[in-house]
Structure 1
Amino acid sequence: MTLAATDALPIATAPAISAPRVRDLRLDFFRGIAMFIILMAHTPGNFFTSWIPARWGFSDATEIFVFCSGMASAIAFGGTFDRMGWRLGTARVAFRVWQVYWAHLGLFIAVAALLAAFDYYGGFDKNYIGSLNLWKFFNDPAVPLIGLVTLSYVPNYFDILPMYMVVLAMMPIIMALSRVNLWAVAAFVFVVWLGAQEWLWGSARLSLPAEPWSDRRWFFNPFGWQLVFFTGFAFMRGWLPKPPVHSLLIALAVFILVANIPLSSIGVRAIARDWFYVTETGNWVIDTRIAIKPLINKSDFGLFRYLHFLSLAYLAWVLAGDKGARLIASGQGALARAWQGVVAVILKVGQQSLAVFVVSMFTARVMGFVMDQIGRDTFNVWVVNIGGALILVATAYGAGWFKSQPWRKKVN
């Protein structure tokens, strides 16, 4: 990790590392894109998932969401540390963790109630409670309920927000270390990530229990995923320099992305099993993917996932232009205006990511249920996905309207 400076001044007097006041269009744009991908990815039986990044490489929309959240946190919370000091900055982070905590509980109750309603009132052949493995919660709710509020019961479908909470809670440590030296920040982030790798430490790795009645751990290990979060955080704070736009770096990033395809989930299914990679001595594509499994592990955030995401992020950063200048089409033609409208919608979705994420996880189960009833032919799947996307857009604009507190405006 190359740092922009090896020594950091006290936060309150370090203008060189102050978070930018102007929001970068790329941040909200790509986080908005991630919201739509997350909706599609969590919808059961959705063939749209064949075209999401996760099928073509090691990283997926989760990395986009977490990386952009790190960048957004540098703006939202880093500025508070700068202006108000460490204590109030920590209080600001704690308040956000509190908000996310209640969003997590609300999401779980809403989805659990939805699935229970499908099973209780619907009389369908499919068991919807079992689709998310929530048997324990409904059969004997006492222990799971305690685990739910203490975050010691984290079902797999509901594991992103708890991971986000823990990573946010690490931010005061990062800001305190930055007062000492930026290399201390880098060392802390790397050591914590290293400690989370199961292939190195086995069951002794840094992780958190996912349920009281088994040894299952959180699927998204926050001690591994904090690496990509604080990478985004460091870029937005100015602790890491902007990568140069250079043809060699572009070529390297493209090479990494293309080289990932044969070993991706699409590659293993379509290439390894159906094409010419099978030999008498075995299948080198599948064998290679098995061999590198620790490096592409999603739970602990394997190193190859990080490398793949950085390559993808670099190309997106180059294509979008300085501060996202290329995202805004110039001209007054119909196509330019249409594109500007699309970008404006995506930006709004990215700006309201927490509200949109919570609604998307609920909506995804509704979309899966609707397709169970009407079928999954091409037309139906398109209609359901478009409907789900419109719900996210409405959520973003609605959340933005409420946050503007229009009732406080004076009426002439």
Structure 2
Amino acid sequence: MSKGRDGRVDLFRGLALIFIFWDHIPGNVLGQVSPRNAGLSDAAEIFVFLAGYGATLAYGGVMERHGYGAAAMRILKRAWVLYIAHIFLMVLLMGVVVFANARVETRDFIQDMHLGYFVSQTEQALLDALTLRFKPHLMDPLPLYILLLLLLAVIVPFLRRWRLAVLGASAMLYGLTQVFGWNMPDQGGGRWFFNPLAWQFLFVLGCVTAWRPAGAGARWWRARPVVRAAAVYLAASALLALSWRWPELHDAVMPRAVAELIYPISKTDLAPLRLLHFLALAVWVTALVPDGPWLDHPAAAHLRRMGRHSLEVFCLTVVLAPLADMVNTLSGDRAAVQLLTGLGGVAAMAAFALWIGWSRTLTAPAARPVREAAAR
């Protein structure tokens, strides 16, 4: 298992949270700088991969020190906490949406947030919410992560010796999902927006990467041919994504046979082209963005703190996004207001992460005398 915590992991998780927040505000000008506008994948892939990486570092370390039972219990406890947070956050989000809907006459926030099902079929919606079948808009990542944590509880004892076998089984499930269109049922006969049977592969990739022996495989993705191939694919993906802004031009230059081959590039099922784009981005960033003292710069430190408390900060963004959307709509979607709400939300996320970090240090002074006494 790789030792230590790479500061870049938390940094990029913090960046992913910012991009997710901006992407969740319709028409927000800051959303133009999101990765989704420059390629085939977006911040969701970054978040899921690094979630697997970070969770394996945390709970894999528990297993090495205290055994599988302790690690499994810690993982299941975390999954339960997230389940409770999911239910609470759903209630809070409903209150925010109702508040926004009462103040904006030009928008139906209830329908925009996919809450019409709850209004029209409240009893069934409550049952579906408890079984993770009903998920309002913006909340899809949390139920996905709950299931991925349950998966981690199953595979973590096999990552030490059979990580390639685990990866192979995960890849096989991913491939079968692409071929047969498997997914899990959602409310109203629908399907999960983030198909867990497909997205588990990206999570497991993160788990396997975190568990590799120190130094193992540390060179191949820095090899010049690999980095160059990744750069070529990223450039081609950027041109393709840019062409979508001009549909007539896209249709004119895109060969019909190629279009039939690559489309749809499904986010729900994590289409192979999306997965390949993320892997190319990971190779390129890992090779060109070094670990080092620059991560202690105040701006980088704030991002890392947000990434360290990523799930709590994500829950905050679920509430902030519709509030920012409401303010933007009331202002006529003026660019200046969009900038204000977008940057103000980031400031709130940073402040929230700072508060969480500070609150968790309150018990440190009480623990220090115990350690000092034991040392004597």
With normalisation by structure 1, the TM-score equals 0.83
Summarize the Cα distance change of 1:129–1:168 in structure 2 as closer, same or farther, 3 Å threshold: same
**In the alignment, does 2:229 pair up with 1:229?**
no
Q: 2:300 aligns with which of 323, 333, 343?
A: 343
Residue deviations 1:294-315 (CA, integer Å, cap 9, x gap): 5x32111111111111111111
- Residue 248 of structure 2 aligns with an amino acid whose one-letter code is R
2:372 match = none
Q: 1:40 aligns with which of 22, 41, 44?
A: 22
Q: 2:226 aligns with which of 228, 249, 271?
A: 249
Whether the aligned pair in 2 keeps the contact of 1:268 and 1:285 (CA below 8 Å) is no
Q: 2:323 aligns with which of 346, 359, 366?
A: 366
1:58 match = 40
Whether the aligned pair in 1 keeps the contact of 2:104 and 2:329 (CA below 8 Å) is no
Summarize the Cα distance change of 1:182–1:384 in structure 2 as closer, same or farther, 3 Å threshold: closer
Residue deviations 1:98-146 (CA, integer Å, cap 9, x gap): 11112211221111111112234x2623221111121120223101001
- Residue 344 of structure 1 aligns with an amino acid whose one-letter code is A
- TM-aligned CA deviation for residue 406 of structure 1: 4.8
1:332 match = none
Which runs of structure 1 show a deviation greater than 6 angstroms over 4 or more consecutive aligned residues? none
Q: Distance in 2 between matches of 1:154 and 1:187?
A: 31
* Aligned partner of residue 135 in structure 2, secondary structure: coil
* Aligned partner of residue 244 in structure 2, secondary structure: helix
- TM-aligned CA deviation for residue 178 of structure 1: 3.6
Moved more, 382-391 or 147-156: 147-156
Q: Distance in 2 between matches of 1:64 and 1:34?
A: 6
* Aligned partner of residue 82 in structure 2, secondary structure: helix
- Residue 135 of structure 2 aligns with an amino acid whose one-letter code is V
- TM-aligned CA deviation for residue 259 of structure 1: 0.9
Whether the aligned pair in 1 keeps the contact of 2:163 and 2:208 (CA below 8 Å) is no
Q: Greater helix share, 1 or 2?
A: 2
2:144 match = 163
Whether the aligned pair in 2 keeps the contact of 1:167 and 1:223 (CA below 8 Å) is no
- Residue 273 of structure 1 aligns with an amino acid whose one-letter code is E
2:81 match = 99
Q: Distance in 2 between matches of 1:408 and 1:326?
A: 28
Q: 2:262 aligns with which of 270, 292, 301?
A: 292
1:81 match = 63
Summarize the Cα distance change of 1:286–1:97 in structure 2 as closer, same or farther, 3 Å threshold: farther
Moved more, 356-365 or 164-173: 164-173
Summarize the Cα distance change of 1:260–1:285 in structure 2 as closer, same or farther, 3 Å threshold: farther
**In the alignment, does 2:284 pair up with 1:315?**
yes
* Aligned partner of residue 174 in structure 2, secondary structure: helix
**In the alignment, does 2:366 pair up with 1:391?**
no
Summarize the Cα distance change of 1:129–1:173 in structure 2 as closer, same or farther, 3 Å threshold: same
Moved more, 300-309 or 376-385: 376-385
* Aligned partner of residue 57 in structure 1, secondary structure: coil
Q: Distance in 2 between matches of 1:170 and 1:410?
A: 34
Whether the aligned pair in 1 keeps the contact of 2:158 and 2:166 (CA below 8 Å) is yes
Summarize the Cα distance change of 1:384–1:123 in structure 2 as closer, same or farther, 3 Å threshold: closer
Summarize the Cα distance change of 1:404–1:287 in structure 2 as closer, same or farther, 3 Å threshold: farther
Q: Distance in 2 between matches of 1:366 and 1:303?
A: 35
2:180 match = 201
- Residue 205 of structure 2 aligns with an amino acid whose one-letter code is T
Summarize the Cα distance change of 1:179–1:234 in structure 2 as closer, same or farther, 3 Å threshold: closer
Summarize the Cα distance change of 1:368–1:297 in structure 2 as closer, same or farther, 3 Å threshold: same
Q: Distance in 2 between matches of 1:58 and 1:96?
A: 31
Summarize the Cα distance change of 1:287–1:376 in structure 2 as closer, same or farther, 3 Å threshold: farther
2:373 match = none
- Residue 354 of structure 1 aligns with an amino acid whose one-letter code is L
- TM-aligned CA deviation for residue 398 of structure 1: 1.1
**In the alignment, does 2:104 pair up with 1:119?**
no
Residue deviations 1:273-292 (CA, integer Å, cap 9, x gap): 34xx654xxx5268744531
- TM-aligned CA deviation for residue 81 of structure 1: 1.7
Matched ranges for 1:124-273 at <5 A: 124-178=105-159, 181-197=162-178, 200-202=179-181, 205=182, 207-211=183-187, 213-214=188-189, 216-238=190-212, 241-244=217-220, 245-264=222-241, 266-270=242-246, 272-273=247-248
Whether the aligned pair in 2 keeps the contact of 1:152 and 1:210 (CA below 8 Å) is yes
- TM-aligned CA deviation for residue 410 of structure 1: 8.9
- Residue 291 of structure 1 aligns with an amino acid whose one-letter code is L
- Residue 163 of structure 1 aligns with an amino acid whose one-letter code is L
User: Unaligned regions of 5+ residues in structure 2, if any?
Assistant: 370-376
Q: Distance in 2 between matches of 1:287 and 1:116?
A: 47
Identity of aligned residues (%): 27
- Residue 189 of structure 1 aligns with an amino acid whose one-letter code is S
User: Unaligned regions of 5+ residues in structure 1, if any?
Assistant: 1-17, 330-339
Relative contact order, higher structure (CA 8 A, sep 6+): 2
* Aligned partner of residue 138 in structure 2, secondary structure: helix
Whether the aligned pair in 1 keeps the contact of 2:14 and 2:310 (CA below 8 Å) is yes
- TM-aligned CA deviation for residue 217 of structure 1: 0.7
Q: Distance in 2 between matches of 1:177 and 1:190?
A: 16
RMSD value over aligned CA atoms? Answer: 2.3
